[in-house]
Chains A and B, each alone.
Chain A
Amino acid sequence: MEYFDFGVNLAFWLTILSTLLCVYYGAVNWNKDGEEKPNKKAKQWAKLEDKIDGDL
């Protein structure tokens, strides 16, 4: 961007690049690491979480 000085330009392009990195990472891994079977500990955790929320 010709309107910014070097420091703001750097921030601007790093912002764009990091957004693209997020988009790329999310798109590539969109369906990866899924379908995890909840284990006993996760079940226990969820039960207690609902109780805490209910109390609040």
Chain B
Amino acid sequence: MGAFENIVIILYLALVGYLGYLGYKQTKSTEDYLIAGRDTHPFIMALSYGATFISTAAIVGFGGVAAWLGQSLLWLTFFNIFVGIFVAFVFLGNPTRKMGYRLNAHTFPEFLGKRFDSKFIQVFGAIIILLFMPLYATAVLIGGTHFISLYFHIDYNVALFTFSIIITAYVIAGGLKGVMLTDALQGTIMFFAMVILLIFTFDSLGGVDQAYTKLEMVWQQTVAPLAEVSMKELKPGSADFMMKLSTLWGFEGWSSMPQFLSNGWLFVITTITLGVGIGVLAQPQLVVRFMTVKSKKELNRAVLIGGIFIISMTGFIFIVGALTNAWYFEFNNGQNALQSAGSIGKVIPHFINEAMPKWFAFIFLFALISAAMSTLSSQFHTMGTAVGRDLVEQISKKNMNSTMVTRVGIMVMISFAVALAYAFDQQPAIIARSTAIFFALCASIFLPSFVGGLFWKRMTKQGAISSMLVGLITSSFWLMFVHFKEAKELGVCQALFGTNSLLSGKIIFVDALIIALPLSIITAIVVSLLTKPMEEKHLEKCFKD
């Protein structure tokens, strides 16, 4: 690195350190903020919500999937913005906030438990979070680790170990709740980094026209010839294997949709788009965030900034992800992205390290690591409160030290997430998949009770419990015994029935959410209508100020 790059990096670190210090000093308690009337700049407020909503670290994984499967992933961006921002903030945010105060609920399981007057729901919700949220945390960990590993040219496991130590130290020293100013700072850096990345990518390929012409040509030269090759001749998991697989799934180019209702179409639309796009509505950490907003005004403002933030994150990375194929072809001896980077998860980190100036790669790396840390700390906060408030306080005697148990629980969760990141590194597209699995599970299990609880007074405790159980059982069954990928990898179906999936044909490519969510909704409605309405007094407590 030259003197100029060193100076840029040192100046940047000094700025980040100063703003971090400033943010730390200005951090107010929730009470100060909500009650004493002190204000936070709307930009900072909105951006920090945007950063909570979508993990910038997991974006690296999705960018790699775009390099593999192309820009059909833009459907996810549309859902992220329309459902995850517009619908969530405009329709769900304010009712959640108000009901949360009325019920004095501080966690998502507690919110549902108090709304339906059920300790079981609170404990059940906590167990689901503790079982499945580490999957999402793993996705964030893997994204950050790949970057560290490629930037510093160190082994993946060494990078993972180092990253885990840093995260543990951060969580222990800094507490769990993200500091709003630093969250906003990371969001701003990521925003500009993505804009620069998009402009640079098009510029280096000779403009938009040239870039897309080249992209089509790269498909014709590196992927189309694979039609002549049989899968058996290719090494499983290799770049050509993955590209050949994509053609068998119905993909015909990086700028087009896979064939309608093909395996690839079902994967992109049901797993990636609907799984993540709808699943975001029932994210435990987001629901709690709504309650820390002072008024509906803040939610209105967050819609504007959140919309711009999300398009610049997922929208830009999906376009850049696909275009990396053209860049590598031109600058790396006629190879496509997967052939050059080696695996899906490595494409974006590899591309940024190879294609961008060193100082930019450093700033991107630093913003990404910071974003990963704030996402992870909010996840560990959610898991910590699930252990302490929802589990220990609910099922133990009062004299049990819940703070101690919570802290031990957080350490166990961190270790579990690190172990998963270690085990799953070699799995293709695991970052995108584990995020999608967690989001889809949340939607199938919690969404009908959450939305019904907010807007449908006739929904009963029995309706909510049955809907959650049906959501869990159906999605677990689908993941273990039907879905082409998870059923095979989990191996339960093979052990019990001697086959990878109980069903065959296209249905095995349909995501669990598509089956589980409608069943869970129908159960909520039918059981609620068949059972006694909740007491008027309880409903007044939930719905009236």
Chain A interface (Cβ < 8 Å from any Cβ of B):
3-8, 11-12, 14-16, 18-19, 21-23, 25-27, 29-36, 38-39, 41-50, 52-53, 55-56
Q: Using Cβ atoms and an 8 Å threshold, which residues of chain A touch B306?
A: 22
Q: Using Cβ atoms and an 8 Å threshold, which residues of chain A touch B311?
A: 15-16, 19
**CB of B175 within 8 A of chain A?**
yes
Q: A15-B315, A41-B104, A53-B30 are in contact. List 10 more A-B contacts (CB 8 A).
A: A4-B256, A5-B256, A11-B78, A16-B311, A29-B303, A32-B297, A36-B295, A45-B106, A49-B106, A55-B388
Q: Using Cβ atoms and an 8 Å threshold, which residues of chain B touch A35?
A: 295, 297
Q: Using Cβ atoms and an 8 Å threshold, which residues of chain A touch B147?
A: none
Given the interface pairs A5-B257, A19-B81, A56-B406, the reply to whether A30 lies near B389 with Cβ below 8 Å is: no
- Main secondary structure on chain A at its contact with chain B? helix
CA of A46 to CA of B74, assembled, Å: 39
Residue of B with least CB distance to A39: B545
Q: Could you tell me which residues of chain B, from 56 to 81, have a CB within 8 Å of some CB in chain A? A: 70-72, 74-75, 77-78, 81
CB-based contact B307/A33 at 8 Å: no
CB-based contact A39/B212 at 8 Å: no
CB-based contact A36/B308 at 8 Å: no
Q: Using Cβ atoms and an 8 Å threshold, which residues of chain A touch B100?
A: 45
Q: Using Cβ atoms and an 8 Å threshold, which residues of chain A touch B253?
A: 5
CB-based contact A11/B30 at 8 Å: no
CB-based contact A22/B303 at 8 Å: yes
Q: Using Cβ atoms and an 8 Å threshold, which residues of chain A touch B294?
A: 36, 38
**CB of B31 within 8 A of chain A?**
yes
Q: Using Cβ atoms and an 8 Å threshold, which residues of chain A touch B292?
A: 49
Given the interface pairs A18-B81, A21-B86, A33-B300, the reply to whether A8 lies near B307 with Cβ below 8 Å is: no
Q: Using Cβ atoms and an 8 Å threshold, which residues of chain B touch A23?
A: 304, 307-308
CA of A38 to CA of B38, assembled, Å: 12
CA of A24 to CA of B344, assembled, Å: 36
12 A-B contacts (beta carbon < 8 Å): A11-B77, A16-B311, A18-B78, A21-B82, A22-B304, A29-B303, A33-B300, A35-B295, A36-B294, A41-B101, A56-B381, A56-B407
CB-based contact A26/B175 at 8 Å: no
CA of A28 to CA of B296, assembled, Å: 13
CA of A28 to CA of B295, assembled, Å: 16
CA of A12 to CA of B70, assembled, Å: 13
Q: Using Cβ atoms and an 8 Å threshold, which residues of chain A touch B77?
A: 11, 15
Given the interface pairs A19-B307, A23-B304, A36-B295, the reply to whether A42 lies near B35 with Cβ below 8 Å is: yes
Q: Using Cβ atoms and an 8 Å threshold, which residues of chain A touch B256?
A: 4-5, 7-8
Candidates B31, B90, B308; contact of A50 at CB < 8 Å = B31
Q: Using Cβ atoms and an 8 Å threshold, which residues of chain B touch A12?
A: 71, 74
Q: Which 4 A-B pairs have the closest CB atoms?
A: A26-B304, A22-B307, A7-B257, A34-B297
Q: Using Cβ atoms and an 8 Å threshold, which residues of chain B touch A30?
A: 42, 297, 300-301, 304
Q: Could you tell me which residues of chain B, from 1 to 47, have a CB within 8 Å of some CB in chain A? A: 29-31, 33-35, 42
CB-based contact A4/B389 at 8 Å: no
CB-based contact A56/B31 at 8 Å: no
- Main secondary structure on chain B at its contact with chain A? helix
CB-based contact A26/B30 at 8 Å: no
CB of A20, distance to nearest CB on chain B (Å): 8
CB-based contact A21/B101 at 8 Å: no
CB-based contact B303/A26 at 8 Å: yes
CA of A43 to CA of B294, assembled, Å: 11
CB-based contact B300/A32 at 8 Å: yes
CA of A44 to CA of B30, assembled, Å: 11
CA of A13 to CA of B85, assembled, Å: 17
Q: Using Cβ atoms and an 8 Å threshold, which residues of chain A touch B402?
A: 55
* Most chain A beta-carbon contacts within 10 A, residue among B33, B257, B315: B257
CA of A11 to CA of B81, assembled, Å: 12
Candidates A21, A34, A48; contact of B307 at CB < 8 Å = A21
Given the interface pairs A30-B301, A45-B291, A52-B389, the reply to whether A18 lies near B82 with Cβ below 8 Å is: yes
CA of A3 to CA of B322, assembled, Å: 13
CB of A28, distance to nearest CB on chain B (Å): 8
CB-based contact B257/A22 at 8 Å: no
Q: Using Cβ atoms and an 8 Å threshold, which residues of chain A touch B74?
A: 8, 11-12, 15
Q: Using Cβ atoms and an 8 Å threshold, which residues of chain A touch B177?
A: 53, 56
Q: Using Cβ atoms and an 8 Å threshold, which residues of chain A touch B403?
A: 55-56
**CB of B305 within 8 A of chain A?**
yes
CB of A51, distance to nearest CB on chain B (Å): 9
CB of B113, distance to nearest CB on chain A (Å): 15
**CB of B520 within 8 A of chain A?**
no
CA of A3 to CA of B71, assembled, Å: 11
Residue of B with least CB distance to A8: B71
Given the interface pairs A22-B86, A36-B294, the reply to whether A15 lies near B104 with Cβ below 8 Å is: no
CB-based contact A56/B385 at 8 Å: yes
Q: Using Cβ atoms and an 8 Å threshold, which residues of chain A touch B70?
A: 8
CA of A19 to CA of B381, assembled, Å: 30
